[in-house]
Structure 1
Amino acid sequence: MDARALAALAANPGCRRRALMDAAGVDKAAVARVLGNPAPFGQSQFAFVRGHAFEARVKAEGCAELLRLLGAPESTEAVLPDLSAPGPEGRVARTRLALKEATAAGRWTLLDHPLLVLEVADSPVYLEPDAIAVRPDGSWTVVEVKSFPILDGSADAVKVGAAARQAAVYVLALERLGFGTPEHRVLLVCPKDFSNLPAAEFVDVRKQLSVTRRQLTRLTRIEEIAAALPEGTTFDLRLADDGRTATRPAAELSDAVDQLPAAYAPECLASCELSFHCREQARGCGAVEVLGRGVRGELGALTEVEQVLAAALGTEGDPDDPAVAALRRAHALRAEALGCR
């Protein structure tokens, strides 16, 4: 798992399908392609290269531009500690030590791609923010560098929200260190207009942090999810066939995926590679989840679209049920508006 996967999982903690497949490192995009429901999104190679080039520009010349965006006085020079170490555990320990030293030093320090760890459902998740700035007062600021542009002073709200949720995971990991003061404002750095010039805004992530903290405590332990699977369940796309390697049949892979309960919601379409497969399943069984979490909450015990339609038409449902009464009232108003009465 990484911060992006954790942020998406925190937004939908009931999805055991995503929780286990992310924890196991399954390539969900490849699985979706085999199942015939590929997600039409993902970062192109061009966008990937452009993003790395933009981040390199932001951090060039001793991170001078990044210091300016953080509000450091002109001509400030920051300490850039070496965070290299063998293995993830070593990098986490080196990051922790660098944060302690920088906090006590009382000067500007920038940690470039530090490594943090967060315990989620009793499993360690390693997280790598773009940078962490330690200010002279000892406070810490998470820096997120994104390649989507800020046009005329504003950026895509959906992308900013996703970046804020991802940054909130980093802030939560810093809080769990037990020392230091991570700020609840993160610095979001993006290209200005259609240029490669960096622009930045401070984004308050207290709301996202609160939601993430609460939702991650509700996650079921990965071992419990795996224990409920039939013996031999695998999501491997390849299988051995008489000493040769062959592609696993889509039907066999679909059966394995269906062993894991999903919690589909329309919001999944923007963040999960398996969302189109899950949507097709939800539509196939007439689940009201396809209409959104808000609608699902309003409908109460009505869990299928056919039940909803029958309740609206008056052929099924308890008239004392507030959801049924509201549906019948809405149906009557619609008929009246259309002149069908």
Structure 2
Amino acid sequence: MSESLGSGRPPTPPQKPATALRRRLAELRGPAAVARPLDARALAALAANPGCRRRALLDGAGVDKAALAEAIGSPSAAFGQSQFAFMRGNAFEAKVKGDGGTELLRLLHERMAAGSEPPGHATAPDLAAAGPEGRAARTALALREATAAGAWALLDHPMLALEVAGSPAYLEPDAVVVHPDGRWTVVEIKSFPMIDAAADPSKVGAAARQSAVYVLALERVAALTDGASVDHSVLLVCPKDFSNLPTASVIDVRKQLSVTRRQLARLARIEDIADELPPGTTFDLDGQSGESLASAVEAVPAVYAPECLAACELAFHCRGRAREEGAVTALGRAMRGELGGLTTIGEVLSAARGESGDPADPTVAAVRRAAALRAEAGAPCR
């Protein structure tokens, strides 16, 4: 009561118990459907488009978006690695972590801890436990024990927990190294090459965004651990040139971390999105027609941008709807930002022709000026 009367802010609405939320999400995806885990790639894509409630709900409920897109007649392009690339990546990761992680620790010491004693040996805690919740708890305990021991430790595929829009997400980085001074460093192992000490910028950027999610999750554990701190630089390990020999570079993810933290905080809570759905809405693929599923999808607001094509299985469907509606988001986020309150292409064209819009509005004035310049440039020479 003191919060609502003294601060001038409305009281925080009560949250649903976790069991009730899990039950509701299970109903949305279907009782027989296995929930798809929300991984770091999906979180990075979600953070890049926090206004899309459709993706937030479907990912939070663990819905198979690829199968859903197929069912509603908008199959997506193939996502993920080919089987060959997957096998090559696994073989390279095994090589990097072989012999107790000796090569990985050498690279980390060379790039990030050259002023300290080289790691002669690192403990490798057993992180096995039942289910993702158990593994996350076991990982947190192993991190605390390794920090208290003040020695090198290598955690192979630890499990980290992060709350996203009121629902837990479980994340699995390739490795986390604990330094003797209590620092924790995320290690990302990728199979794309570093040629002359440089890799494809787009792939490095994707790895940085993914790693920022791991760093954010680690910070939650470090806040409860005496003497622990999380590196805001991650170690990226890749094949050197055209060989299978590992090399590494250090990536500063402070910018990506700040963006991810801010964008995830902007996400609407999943139970709030679910409560706004019409009664009986479900994404259960069993026993439903494509039309019913399409109606369920359309019941959740979406924010489409061309960048979705590389990150979301429903992007083709959302692009088609955006084009049908003439939404300027189909032209890209930069264009959407420039056009202010003009949200459809029809509104933009009408304002440019002088048929609508306030002339005092800077956006309206700009599009009218652009239309006049275009007409002048296309006029025949005299």
TM tier relative to shorter chain: over 0.9
SS in 2 for 1:209: helix
Distance 1:191 1:250 in 2: 44
Residue 242 of structure 1 corresponds to which residue in structure 2? none
> Amino acid of the residue matched to residue 371 of structure 2?
H
User: Greater CA deviation, 72-81 or 197-206?
Assistant: 72-81
Q: Unaligned stretches of 5+ in structure 2?
A: 1-37, 111-116
Distance 1:338 1:106 in 2: 73
* Pair 1:161 & 2:179 matched: no
Distance 2:337 2:165 in 1: 26
Residue 165 of structure 2 corresponds to which residue in structure 1? 121
Distance 1:322 1:49 in 2: 55
Structure 1's 230 and 40: CA in aligned 2 closer, same or farther, altered over 3 A? same
Q: Could you list the per-position Cα deviations for residues 287-335 of structure 1 after superposition, in whole angstroms to 9, with x for gaps in the alignment?
A: 0001111211111111110111122222322211111111111122223
User: Greater CA deviation, 119-128 or 168-177?
Assistant: 119-128
State the Cα distance separating 1:74 from its structure 2 match: 5.7
SS in 2 for 1:217: helix
Length-normalised TM-score, structure 2: 0.83
State the Cα distance separating 1:197 from its structure 2 match: 1.9
Of residues 91, 113, 135, the one that matches 2:179 is 135
* Pair 1:97 & 2:141 matched: yes
Matches within 5 A, 1:243-258: 248-258=288-298
Of residues 24, 27, 33, the one that matches 2:70 is 33
Of residues 172, 190, 213, the one that matches 2:238 is 190
Matches within 5 A, 1:295-306: 295-306=335-346
Q: Could you list the per-position Cα deviations for residues 145-204 of structure 1 after superposition, in whole angstroms to 9, with x for gaps in the alignment?
A: 122222333222222112111111111111112131000001111222332222211111
Matches within 5 A, 1:302-313: 302-313=342-353
State the Cα distance separating 1:340 from its structure 2 match: 4.7
Q: Unaligned stretches of 5+ in structure 1?
A: 240-247
* Pair 1:48 & 2:89 matched: no
Residue 337 of structure 1 corresponds to which residue in structure 2? 377
Distance 1:205 1:65 in 2: 23
The answer to whether the 8 A contact 2:352-2:368 is kept is yes
Residue 273 of structure 2 corresponds to which residue in structure 1? 225
> Amino acid of the residue matched to residue 217 of structure 1?
A
Matches within 5 A, 1:47-86: 47-71=85-109, 76-86=120-130
Residue 273 of structure 1 corresponds to which residue in structure 2? 313
User: Greater CA deviation, 1-10 or 69-78?
Assistant: 69-78
User: Greater CA deviation, 170-179 or 276-285?
Assistant: 170-179
Structure 1's 147 and 39: CA in aligned 2 closer, same or farther, altered over 3 A? farther
The answer to whether the 8 A contact 2:106-2:119 is kept is no
Of residues 139, 148, 151, the one that matches 2:192 is 148
Of residues 130, 141, 150, the one that matches 1:106 is 150
Residue 360 of structure 2 corresponds to which residue in structure 1? 320
Distance 2:197 2:323 in 1: 40
Residue 52 of structure 2 corresponds to which residue in structure 1? 15
Distance 1:44 1:82 in 2: 30
Distance 1:275 1:150 in 2: 31
Distance 1:86 1:28 in 2: 27
> Amino acid of the residue matched to residue 253 of structure 1?
L
Residue 248 of structure 2 corresponds to which residue in structure 1? 200
SS in 2 for 1:238: coil
Distance 2:248 2:375 in 1: 52
Structure 1's 152 and 250: CA in aligned 2 closer, same or farther, altered over 3 A? farther
Distance 1:77 1:50 in 2: 27
CA-atom RMSD in angstroms: 1.6
Distance 2:145 2:380 in 1: 75
Distance 1:340 1:322 in 2: 29
The answer to whether the 8 A contact 2:162-2:170 is kept is yes
Q: What count of residue pairs does the alignment treat as equivalent? A: 333
Distance 1:294 1:152 in 2: 34
SS in 2 for 1:154: coil
Residue 2 of structure 1 corresponds to which residue in structure 2? 39
Residue 329 of structure 2 corresponds to which residue in structure 1? 289
> Amino acid of the residue matched to residue 39 of structure 1?
S
> Amino acid of the residue matched to residue 200 of structure 1?
A
Q: Could you list the per-position Cα deviations for residues 213-245 of structure 1 after superposition, in whole angstroms to 9, with x for gaps in the alignment?
A: 111112111111111112221212221xxxxxx
> Amino acid of the residue matched to residue 309 of structure 2?
L
> Amino acid of the residue matched to residue 223 of structure 1?
E
> Amino acid of the residue matched to residue 82 of structure 2?
S
Structure 1's 75 and 88: CA in aligned 2 closer, same or farther, altered over 3 A? closer
Length-normalised TM-score, structure 1: 0.93
